[in-house]
Structure 1
């Protein structure tokens, strides 16, 4: 390999978002990207560019068990670190953020634009006593009993490709059209209500807004068809309350076969533009 060659690495990352100000690096704030970049800087030197790119920039307080990002390492350093990188990162990163896997990928792989879906779960305890203490950081306590059938009826009306402007914090020149391929609720054996939502991508605060709207249906305050009716709006609805961040976890990011990385990234960039 030539001296300037680099190797693209896919990193699978988990973190407890409670003490992070989200993923994206911010001056003076503790972020997941910040602690990851700091760990690599200690390994490679602060002047080594990483090109750190993430599948989804989670907000402050949001967790992840299936986050994906990529970095570009000098080929020579990868050769030196290949057998020990995961262990070295574990020693350098804080206990609330972990790199669980590292593997080389083609340079056509883009953690953000090559992704075909992001999947989140939102946990809600509607028990009178609230969430169990050991799950308080990833489970919302809801004071009213929730009806699972009503929750799923509301969810069904939101599946498909729609303009979710009513549920998004709009950004200039950015589309709010998204395609939800999965949205459902279940009640786990421990009694926790769990929403699973999957889409090609999400705009800011979209998942938590959808959950907030559906919870008012589940507890009987809104009709099951109400959330879907909001899809006719072209601006954020003031009637939608954003559910707290701590109940939300990014659990998976999907990608096509590696021969399709470049084509998928190109298509996504065109769509988002």
Structure 2
């Protein structure tokens, strides 16, 4: 599948952050619900004085309530529009966008770049505290309160059994025609001096609800309701377990998206679109 930019257009990379509290996720929705994509596309149309809406392609479509500090998107703009507005576009967007979303950088993307399909990993952080007094009010929209003491060592022991390439069907909301095979590159938890536990979760891609389901399973281990071997057994069973809770979205932040060297972008773009399967299993299209 080709992803060549149409003649007369320039592909622009955007680096974005947002507080997801008041958004119904990244992707535009019917019914006028407020979304990150909708706000940025509206602002872009306004500041470039365009009649056309230039559609964004994003690295990770975050759910309602999920935040981002390192989101990446691209948009294809007519060369004339980019030439006329690029020097002032960043500042004009800052003046037009609401305060809970920012575009930090705009630049022409290298050849072969696709914000979604060129990415080789996405890194999320999930933040939770077991402080008996609850969450600092200033952090209430970014940290989950868990009202049982958590054993971080036990959670890390359980997390190690989930690393690598697996079918994460037990931790994903299934979507028709989409694979649940992913490579989990990192899953580790650290308690900070402030008592907040930060889980770092990095994978080549994520299926729907995967991060929040993994954290839900690890919390069950951390508070002693299950042993460290339990999340691995759930993974191996390959089916949803009613004991795995999808934790609330507000503790989750997309921190960073990784891309290969410029000369490898086009190859990665094609590779990410290929059908994917585990050895001995039938393939299906990536999501």
The TM-score range, normalised by the shorter chain, is: over 0.9
* Structure 1: distance between partners of 2:55 and 2:267: 20
Matched, 1:240 2:240: no
User: Which digits, 9 at most, give the CA deviation of each residue in 1:109-135, with x for residues without a partner?
Assistant: 100000000000000011011111111
* 1:117-266 to 2 correspondences below 5 Å: 117-266=121-270
Distance 1:31 1:88 in 2: 20
For 2:234 and 2:154, locate their aligned partners in 1 and report how far apart those are by CA, in whole Å.
17
1:17 aligns with: 20
Q: Is the 8 A contact 2:156 2:189 kept in 1?
A: yes
8 Å contact kept, 1:214–1:227: yes
Counterpart-to-counterpart distance in 1, 2:113 and 2:240: 34
| Counterpart in the other structure of 1:115 | 119
| Contact kept in structure 2, 1:186 and 1:195, CA below 8 Å | yes
Does the alignment pair 1:62 with 2:66?
yes
TM-score in terms of structure 2 length = 0.92
Between the aligned partners of 1:271 and 1:129, the Cα distance in structure 2 is: 48
C-alpha root-mean-square deviation of aligned residues, in Å? 1.3
Q: Distance in 1 between matches of 2:49 and 2:175?
A: 35
Q: Check whether the contact 2:48–2:85 (CA below 8 A) recurs between aligned residues.
A: no
Q: 1:84, CA displacement in angstroms?
A: 1.0
SS in 1 for 2:119: coil
Is the aligned partner of 1:76 residue 2:80? Answer: yes
Deviations 1:151-177 (A, max 9, x none): 101111111111110000000111101
1:82 deviates by 1.7
Instruction: Please state how far the C-alpha of 1:72 moved relative to its aligned partner.
Output: 0.8
- Runs of 4+ in structure 1 deviating by more than 3 angstroms, as ranges, are none
> Which runs of 5 or more residues in structure 1 are unaligned?
none
Larger deviation: 114-123 or 73-82? 73-82
Distance 1:87 1:16 in 2: 19
Q: What secondary structure does 1:204 align onto? A: coil
Contact preservation (8 Å) 2:45, 2:54: no
TM-score (norm 1): 0.96
Partner Cα distance (1:126, 1:51) in 2: 41
Q: Determine if contact 1:165/1:233 at 8 Å carries over to the other structure.
A: no
Q: Secondary structure at the match of 2:114?
A: coil
Structure 1 distance, partners of 2:135, 2:142, is: 9
Structure 1 residues 55 and 20: CA distance shift in structure 2, 3 A: same
Distance 1:131 1:139 in 2: 7
Q: Which deviations, in whole Å up to 9, do the C-alpha atoms of 1:48-68 show, x marking residues without a partner?
A: 352410000000000000000
